[in-house]
Amino acid sequence: MFIKKLLNYRMLVLCIFFLGLSLRLWLFFTEARFAGDTARDLLVGSHIVKYGERPLVGHAASGNFFYYPPYYFYFQALLYAIVENPRVIMGLFVVWQSTSIVLVYAIGKQLFNAPTGVIAALMVGLSQYFVRQQSWMYSGPSTTPLFLLSFLLFIRWARTAHTKKLSLLLYSLAVLMVGSVVSYSLLIYVPVFLIAASIIGIPRFGRAKILVLCATGMVALMLLYSPLFFVFERAAKAFNPIYFIEFRAGTLLSFFDITKGIVALLIPNSQWLISLVLLFGFVASFYHGSRNERLKAVGIMGMILYPVILAAGSRNRLVHFYFHYFDVVMPLVAVLFSWAITNSYIKPSRPRHGFVLVTSVVFILVSSNKFFYTPYEHNQYKQTETIAREILRKASGTANKNNQIDTGFFQVYVYQQGFGALNSIMVWYQLERITGKRFVTLIPKTDRFRQLNSDDVIFLYCLWYDGGSEDPLCQQDFHNDYSEHEFRYAMKIDPRITLFVYKRRDSQLIL
């Protein structure tokens, strides 16, 4: 009786969802990943509500110099107006991203069968990559449920297209376009969905109706991106994602390199052994699977490799460092792996075999991840809060020494090799949250901020630098940008945190 209840697929998926959600919330509360992008989103949202700032553009796509419309920032403002607590806002994103577990089950079931969906849900629910990526607030991974929902609606429409109803297709395209104004990963799939809709729909609905639908979709997308046309003179470059593609020598090597990286993300340890097992599974699956299943598998493989091809041909090659662009398709990799497993090794129609299958996949996931679920990073949110409080304490002491009431004589920078001062916003956000005062203002036509205080004193924190009184690379980068300041001393807050204090040479402040 217990085994029968356990093998009820919906009950299994529900258990997997709550287990996956628990792992994500555990990492969220203990590790509290807090990147510059997370702080920027929270800070822009609070500035829209508190100070009436109106951003004209959204965030920029990392490595692609591509701006989005500002809708995501205004959504953050709506959340801030309802719930000011940043922990609650970030926690809501964790819960939202966890719905990918249920959605990937539905996709696997719709395309193949329920066991495939369950195994895919297990991989998304327990795999190190998905748990870690979905345990914090970041605009890229937050669109994964939107992509999966759009794809699921598209599949359901394709299976019922003979009824000549377009409602599911319209919902699918609408969800995809909403996500496309937040993530480049979804934007590049808009033409793919429109082309697929044309291939499936023209024989059933007629060429005229489908062409009108596709044209309407492209016009709707341009309207969504229309704010950029009023901000940038070269609006075509800002809107056209194909601008960044340039196939050249080395593209094929890049393609295989990125593909290997995707496998490494999903299976971080023993990837070669497990990859060989999965490769054998694919061969066996194509041999045993029906023609319809093989076509579906090839279609999913094409959707996965499509962004890989674009990344391999990236004009600036920076996309190699931004694997979050593949977040939205990684669940489809799980579906493909799951189909290979269920179709090759065990007959899931037999309850005993299904139980062995689920147990085997759990064992592979846990052994591959090597019990990673214990946080391996320090609490980044708490760390930046500690830095902000220490800076405020030191600034208050300096003001008292100089018989001043105002502490608006200092600025703060967080430097990271290769990124400069982009992550300074993490501490700026904490300074504003702790004091309730305004330290920065949004620079028009960008997603960047400018500090309002004077720069008599500058506190420098070197990200990813653990201890010591010197960090030559970080300090050299800072000195190149602020040569008019001289180093005075280092403040060691704890073994992980060292602040470097600089003073402008012509300043009369006593430190």
Residue 455 lies in a domain: yes
Summary mean pLDDT of the chain: 77
Give the side-chain half-sphere CA count within 13 A for 497.
Answer: 18
Q: Is 32 left (phi over 0), alpha (psi -120 to 50) or beta?
A: left
pLDDT at position 153 is 93
pLDDT at position 264 is 57
What's the total number of domains in the chain?
1
Residue 177, token pair as written in the block:
């376009």
Residue 230 lies in a domain: no
Residue 205 lies in a domain: no
Q: Cα–chain-centroid distance for residue 446?
A: 20
pLDDT at position 320 is 44
Residue 410 lies in a domain: yes
Range 451-470 average pLDDT: 74
Residue 147 lies in a domain: no
Q: Is the alpha carbon torsion for 498, 428, 65, 182 positive or negative?
A: positive
Please check whether residue 11 is in contact with residue 118, taking contact to mean a CB–CB distance below 8 angstroms: no
**How many whole angstroms separate alpha carbon 229 and alpha carbon 243?**
16
Range 399-417 average pLDDT: 84
Please check whether residue 421 is in contact with residue 481, taking contact to mean a CB–CB distance below 8 angstroms: yes
pLDDT at position 381 is 85
- CA nearest neighbour of 117 among 367, 296, 332: 332
**How many whole angstroms separate alpha carbon 500 and alpha carbon 490?**
4
Secondary structure of 169-231 in HEC code, one letter for each residue: HHHHHHHHHHHHCCCHHHHCCHHHHHHHHHHHHHHHHCHHHHHHHHHHHHHHHHHHCHHHHCC
DSSP summary character for residue 62: T
| Residue pLDDT, tens place only, 31-82 | 777 888 888 899 999 999 999 888 888 877 665 556 788 889 999 999 999 9
Residue 488 lies in a domain: yes
pLDDT at position 275 is 54
Angle, in degrees to the nearest 10, between helices 86-98 and 36-51: 120
pLDDT at position 465 is 47
N-term to C-term CA, the chain: 74
pLDDT at position 1 is 46
Pairing mode, if any, of strands 457-462 and 410-415?
Answer: parallel
pLDDT at position 313 is 62
Buried b (16+ CB within 10 A) or exposed e, 97-120: bbbbbbbbbbbbbbbbbbbbbbbb
Strands annotated E in 3-94 = 60-61, 66-67
% of the chain at pLDDT higher than 70: 72
Residue 408 lies in a domain: yes
Give the side-chain half-sphere CA count within 13 A for 112.
Answer: 32
Q: How confident is the model at residue 278 (pLDDT cuts 50, 70, 90)?
A: low
**In this model, does residue 315 exceed pLDDT 70?**
no
Q: Is 117 helix (H, G, I), strand (E, B) or coil?
A: helix
Contacts of 40 (CB under 8 A, 6+ apart): 59, 425, 429, 447, 449
**How many whole angstroms separate alpha carbon 308 and alpha carbon 79?**
34
**How many whole angstroms separate alpha carbon 249 and alpha carbon 267?**
29
Range 251-266 average pLDDT: 56
| Residue pLDDT, tens place only, 127-143 | 877 888 888 888 778 89
Domain extent at residue 434: 380-504
pLDDT at position 175 is 92
Q: How confident is the model at residue 18 (pLDDT cuts 50, 70, 90)?
A: very high
pLDDT at position 415 is 84
| Residue pLDDT, tens place only, 327-357 | 788 888 888 878 877 776 555 455 445 555 5
**How many whole angstroms separate alpha carbon 122 and alpha carbon 338?**
9
Residue 14 lies in a domain: no
pLDDT at position 371 is 44
Please report, for residues 91, 101, 107, 185, 400, the alpha-carbon distance to residue 95 in angstroms, rounded to integers and kept in the order given: 6, 11, 19, 21, 46
| Residue pLDDT, tens place only, 287-309 | 555 667 767 777 777 777 777 77
Q: How confident is the model at residue 7 (pLDDT cuts 50, 70, 90)?
A: low
**In this model, does residue 321 exceed pLDDT 70?**
no
- Bridge partners for 276 per DSSP: none
- CA nearest neighbour of 475 among 502, 455, 453, 448: 502
pLDDT at position 279 is 56
For the whole model, what pTM was predicted?
Answer: 0.83
**How many whole angstroms separate alpha carbon 216 and alpha carbon 240?**
18
Q: Is 100 helix (H, G, I), strand (E, B) or coil?
A: helix
Contacts of 164 (CB under 8 A, 6+ apart): 204, 205
Question: Which of residues 247 and 445 earns the better pLDDT score?
Answer: 445
pLDDT at position 398 is 86
- CA nearest neighbour of 354 among 118, 122, 101: 118
| Residue pLDDT, tens place only, 153-199 | 999 988 886 666 788 888 999 999 998 888 878 888 888 888 888 88
pLDDT at position 403 is 84
**How many whole angstroms separate alpha carbon 11 and alpha carbon 118?**
10
Q: How confident is the model at residue 256 (pLDDT cuts 50, 70, 90)?
A: low
DSSP summary character for residue 510: -
